[in-house]
Structure 1
């Protein structure tokens, strides 16, 4: 083996400076807090490509080539969540016919702090093959915010590990990255190249392993949980539409690998929001994802609630937006700075208006699904603080609605789930001025007040009457202040602006109101019809903004795109409110889209409809996987089964409205009150339920 001195320092910059890299054609394997993003052929070469650990890019380049041999990538696909397989034909090598003879297989496995590339070259030809394989590696050890901003970071020079001469090492700040080859390469260069000279007789193969490890001496804000600690049952679905089955299977695999642990209590885990941009704790995302997974068990909900309760606001801090009782928005080790967007978020940031009511509702719903009463009771002081935040801080001006405003000028201008700066607007395209009261947040607050009251009464704590009265006043005020009208009839505005004027854009937020109790039946009928209209229903899911609206952009982050979790919430709301046909139609759109995305639905995709093409169009910078997009598969299944639990009162409701296209359907791995739940829906729509003893089942035919 030879060792050469460096003649270059790493990969050349390939991303356009100042532009967020696109991800729509990336293959992402993950095992949080690490993940790998590559080209479809497996190469790490440009844009956001890289092996990441925590919030740093440990490896920015890992390209495999052959000396004077043209290569032809022929396949690349996921094998679960953290594994992928890529195949490349080495053209002209050992070929005696038109058939390819020599193939390079590249099998990737991503684990916490570790990426393994298992290489295999197979000669299926009739003559010997001589090949020089070159691995070109390098890194910039860029932070996530630098990658997301398209900022060019100087490459880090590698050193050759003297002890073995078979590894490259890069170090900057507190991070050390090591790339080792086994067997030892024929030659290694500090420029970042490893060479293998391979001689293969007919029928022979050659194998090697490249292992990249990343270590940060400061540790990670949230480590990987202990092996085998998945806090839910494994769902198994067999339906007449394999796309539905595949979506649930891939989603489950992704969710397992998005789990992170609380360093203060490692047994408590939660779901990171998504890769690559949001692989950390997000209050809203983690709460919604845990709520969607309640039919698989209550353990994730309980631990997510505890993780956020430990970080619940206790003081008033304008810089971080912390307030007593408030649930945080996100946690990053170094914060997030995006100068091009005037964004500078502190490491622990509380700029969200909806995480606090969602926390209360998750606690209530987990209790209904059978969470141990002792675990519920231990969290009730946090629930009381969260309820108090809604009236004392969330409603800053005392008008009875929850609203938000970024007082720092460097935080999020919008602090609901549609948190881009241009998302909340009037029908004519004008942006709403803060403080802003979102329609869906009032629905969350209503549910939280009602659910909080139920918890307080059940556990003998004071205040239940007060919060029920508060909820009823909110309901009355909402009807007076939010409803507007256009040529198609009445509907709720997306928000109230600074002057309490209704921002009258037509949006997907309607789906978040249904089934919460905020609306009466006549109002729900109006919104169900709106959601079924072609301006909102793209055929692949709900558009965030009506295509009839001024400013609609099918590639706008929150002004025309489709978010799977948003549609799934609407599906569930429609099911709860008594509109199963509309729910089933929207659910079918998501199943249709999942097939086009290889069963891994992204964070969002473009709002082009089925009338514009047979396949959904990717949103180029979307995370994939994303926790609440993956968890949506479970919520859609729950909605079609008409499944709800009230364990404290000893009942389980199963009111299936499974479309004919999915029947027969059989699902196992569900759970209620900690015990297994199994359902079968026959081809004629009749249901068989195997439920835990002690629960009375309602609703089945």
Structure 2
């Protein structure tokens, strides 16, 4: 066995073993991202990986880095970058490169900008394709050498994040084959992983892990070089690389998804660009599983199925894309815990927190192979099931997962509430598990007004709201399944929870709900964004909901880029922290959806406008996982958080959650109605058009127009039996 390399060595808090290390290299390099299936690539602007030194770059497959370096040179020098972009649909990375001034060791000097190299990178399910189209634009013959340095380290994604390992498996000798080379690694899990590189035309033999081509191009001549990098693993069947089939398959999938979802157009082109970028990013993260579509959480750290993230993403997109919710529900139902397993924080009925496929997870070095350490995924699963039924009327799917819904409800009233006080709470069972198990899962994210960390078991405010919505939603389903007594019991539970929550969590002097209750049932008297989720679940008293909203958009909470996770006056406030003062787009979307539920239009528009403004200042209008919570400064952009996932599924879904909220859109499948309840449009949007909005087999095209503070609605096209109504 060999000693483990640490890709991003950095100091980290002892209490947080899964801390994501940040280095200068991470925070200053612009990254380009591609994803397909279980594979993703993180590259620089050149289409290279780790060309300038250690970084969280490469080709990853099933939580393992199969290609650690890919670095192109021309006569031993890095090319000059002309431009670089990822195609609008995220299918390809295009980089325009040219030669620098070259002395010409072959006796032929070459001035800069003589040779153009168009590098095109495409990702398949388990293979990366890179095409180099080389053309001589000079007036004389060009004689030069292209070289490609490559390497594979087969490190686990947790090693790339900064987690140290004492032992690793063994790197295998390189295997030369016709047209290329195979690099290999035999892991301590007994699995052999291989990276197969193929070159067309074949490389000249020059050195280990280096491919080279000597090119002589007359003026105007071109030469094409094709490179394929395939990820191979024991026990997994892989097809031979076929770049054309990969591109065609991606195009077919894109067309099918476009035909399945509602299309949105507005009078604001910048907003349309945000919509387009968000949709493309979300489509890239959505992965086909045996159970249907599932939105993987984010790249690079979370390119896998997370229960909470998948559910919240599906909820934000439910009004325009119910198929995503259907796949998410089936996947989570199939992966629900059925036994006690303390190492995985698993208990019967509990819904998945995350799943991993890498060596460290398989060996149990991290507990995340199939991990259940989240207190909110289980009630949110029930919430999504009920919301899906209300959106589609698809009782067949809901009936098929009713046993899993009942198991989730059973967990909520037993393991989730061990002391029987009616509140859901958490206390990790796995010594290696997450200390905090709500969406703010940093080790220091739940604390008291004096800065003391809260002791477990902890009852989070927002989780009680999720539980309340879950009980009521399950009651509605039970009625449809001819179980009136079960429905009545669930409604009684919801009402008891509502009454006790108001008595226990409300902080009248702070005009908000407590962040949480600690193990001694003492409230954490902190103004936090969690209170906004209480509105999302419908648990808040209406008068108190208005007071919470007013506090959330007041200066201490609102940075003018969005609502901070905690108020700027809190003891542990740090705008550069992960959860204690930063701004998370999805958090703001859920808060906005909560405002809409209570008819709080002004704060809703304020939050939506802030996130829209943020999208205008970030690269590619791609909202990251989070950004720092500094106050907005004139002419500046949001301050980046250095190791944020980008893209992140629930951030990409933010625009759809907020737009659905301002439109007030809801559905009544039995009544064949699409309803717009108190719709409102921001001052910077005069018109919003929805094409192919579906309810069952009916399809409508709609146009909403703003007239001051009022919105009119016009049905442009209708196919099938459906009524469209506005409710003021």
Q: Name the residue aligned to 1:54.
A: 62
Match of 1:3 in 2: none
Distance 1:219 1:600, change over 3 A: farther
1:449-476 Cα distance to aligned partner (Å, 9 max, x none): 1111111112211311111111111111
Partner of 1:34: 39
Structure 1 residue 187 displacement after superposition: 3.3
2:48 to 43, 49, 55: 43
Quote the residue 2:518 is aligned against: 497
Q: Match of 1:6?
A: none
Between 85-94 and 270-279, the greater mean CA deviation after superposition: 85-94
Note if contact 1:236-1:249 (Cα within 8 Å) is conserved in structure 2.
no
Structure 2 residue 710 is matched with structure 1 residue 696: no
Check conservation: 1:541, 1:586, Cα contact below 8 A: yes
1:541 is the counterpart of 2:559: no
In the alignment, does 2:355 pair up with 1:331? yes
Structure 1: stretches of 5+ with no match in the other structure: 1-11
| Distance in 2 separating the partners of 1:446 and 1:204 | 69
Q: 2:201 aligns with which of 176, 183, 193?
A: 183
In structure 1, which of residues 463, 466, 473 is the aligned counterpart of residue 486 of structure 2?
463
Where does residue 648 of structure 2 map in the other structure? 626
State yes or no: 1:135 paired with 2:148.
Answer: yes
1:482 equivalent in structure 2: 505
Q: 1:276 touches 1:624 (CA, 8 Å); kept in 2? A: yes
> Secondary structure in 2 aligned to 1:118?
strand
Q: Distance in 2 between matches of 1:234 and 1:90?
A: 44
Q: How far does residue 518 in structure 1 lie from its aligned partner after superposition?
A: 0.9
1:531 pairs with one of 542, 547, 552: 552
Counterpart of 1:463 in 2: which secondary structure? helix
Partners of 1:142 and 1:169 in 2: how far apart? 13
Q: How does 1:363-402 map to 2 (within 5 A)?
A: 363-402=385-424
**CA apart distance, 1:13:** 8.2
Moved more, 389-398 or 87-96: 87-96
SS at match of 1:528: helix
Q: C-alpha distance in 1, partners of 2:110/2:75? A: 22
SS in 1 for 2:330: helix
Q: Secondary structure at the match of 1:648?
A: coil
From the superposition, tell whether residues 68 and 99 of structure 1 become closer, same or farther in structure 2 (CA, over 3 Å).
closer
CA contact (8 A) 2:563 2:588 kept: yes
C-alpha displacement at 1:197, in angstroms? 1.2
In 2, the alpha carbon distance for the partners of 1:665 and 1:305 equals 30
Q: What secondary structure is seen at the aligned counterpart in 2 of 1:399?
A: coil
- For residue 387 of structure 1, report the CA deviation from its aligned partner: 1.5
Distance 1:18 1:113, change over 3 A: farther
Q: What's the CA shift string for 1:43-70, capped at 9, x where partnerless?
A: 2013211001111101000000111556
The answer on whether the counterparts of 1:353 and 1:403 sit within 8 Å (CA) in structure 2 is yes
Distance, in Å, in 1 between the alignment partners of 2:591 and 2:365 is 31
Q: Please give the per-residue CA displacement for 1:172-212, whole angstroms capped at 9, x wherever unaligned.
A: 342111111111223343x2111111222222222211110
The alpha-carbon distance between structure 1 residues 337 and 522, as it changes in their structure 2 partners (threshold 3 A), is same
Structure 1 CA distance for aligned equivalents of residues 153 and 169 of structure 2: 6
**Which residue of 2 is the match for residue 120 of structure 1?**
133
Please provide the CA RMSD for this pair. Answer: 2.9
Contact 2:697 2:720 in 1 (8 A): no
Task: Find the partner of 1:169 among 176, 183, 196.
Answer: 183
Between the aligned partners of 2:532 and 2:706, the Cα distance in structure 1 is 29
Where in structure 2 are there 5+ consecutive unaligned residues?
13-20, 238-245
Change (3 A) 1:199 1:96: closer
Equivalent residue for 1:16, pick from 1, 9, 23: 9
In structure 1, the partner of 2:81 is: 73
Tell me if 1:442 matches 2:457: no
Q: Distance in 2 between matches of 1:524 and 1:126?
A: 72
Q: Which residue of 2 aligns with 1:195?
A: 212
The secondary structure found in structure 2 opposite 1:584 is helix
Map 1:419-430 to 2 at 5 A: 419-430=441-452
Q: Distance in 1 between matches of 2:461 and 2:408?
A: 19
Q: Does 1:210 align with 2:227?
A: yes
Q: Per-residue CA shift, 1:61-104, capped at 9, x if unaligned?
A: 00001115563223222113242112223123699999833222
Once residues 204 and 161 of structure 1 are traced to their aligned partners in structure 2, the CA distance between those partners, rounded to angstroms, is 31
Q: Does 1:290 align with 2:311?
A: no
Query: Could you list the per-position Cα deviations for residues 134-191 of structure 1 after superposition, in whole angstroms to 9, with x for gaps in the alignment?
Result: 10000101111111126597994662523x25345334342111111111223343x2
- Rate the CA distance shift 1:73–1:283 in 2: closer, same or farther, 3 A: same
How many residue pairs were aligned? 679
**Separation in structure 2 between the aligned mates of residue 530 and residue 686 of structure 1, nearest angstrom:** 31
Q: Distance in 1 between matches of 2:155 and 2:259?
A: 35
* Structure 1 residue 239 displacement after superposition: 2.0
Q: What SS does the corresponding residue of 1:202 show, helix, strand or coil?
A: coil
For 1:659-678, what aligned pairs fall within 5 Å after superposition?
659-678=682-701
Counterparts of 1:605-644 in structure 2, within 5 Å, are 605-611=627-633, 614-644=636-666
- Is contact 2:62–2:356 with CA below 8 Å preserved after alignment? no
CA distance in 2 between counterparts of 1:525 and 1:316 reads: 42
| SS of match in other structure, 1:134 | strand
Task: Give the distance between the partners of 1:83 and 1:509, measured in 2 at CA.
Answer: 38
- Counterpart in 1 of 2:97? 88
Name which of 284, 291, 301 aligns with 1:257.
Answer: 284
Could you tell me which residue of structure 2 aligns to residue 682 of structure 1?
705
**Aligned match of 1:9:** none
1:402, 1:90 → 2: CA distance? 62
Report if the CA contact (8 A) 2:7-2:161 is conserved: no
Structure 1 position 554 matched with structure 2 position 578:
no
Sort the Cα spacing of 1:333 and 1:96 in 2 relative to 1 into closer, same or farther, 3 A: closer
Secondary structure of 1:137's counterpart equals: strand
Q: Distance in 2 between matches of 1:534 and 1:692?
A: 48
**CA 1:603–1:552: 2 relative to 1, 3 Å:** same
Q: Does 1:270 align with 2:294?
A: yes
Q: Please report how far the alpha carbon of residue 694 of structure 1 lies from its aligned counterpart in structure 2 after TM superposition.
A: 3.7
Residues 117, 135 of structure 2: 8 Å contact kept: yes
Pairing 1:343-382 to 2, within 5 Å after superposition: 344-382=366-404
Is the Cα contact below 8 Å between 1:283 and 1:355 reproduced in 2?
A: yes
Matched, 1:593 2:610: no
Contact 1:71/1:91 (<8 A) preserved: yes
Q: In structure 2, how many angstroms separate the alpha carbons of the residues matched to 1:569 and 1:219?
A: 39
- Point out the more displaced range, 329-338 or 434-443: 329-338
Q: 1:96 to 1:319 in 2, by over 3 A?
A: closer
What is residue 107 of structure 1 aligned with on the other side?
120
Contact 2:6–2:163 (CA under 8 A) maintained in structure 1 = no
Q: Residues 337 and 315 from structure 1, CA distance in 2 versus in 1: closer, same or farther, beyond 3 angstroms?
A: closer
Q: Deviations over 1:383-406 (max 9, x none)?
A: 222222211221111111000001
- For 2:15, the equivalent position in structure 1 comes to none
Inter-partner Cα distance in structure 2 for 1:628 and 1:254: 10
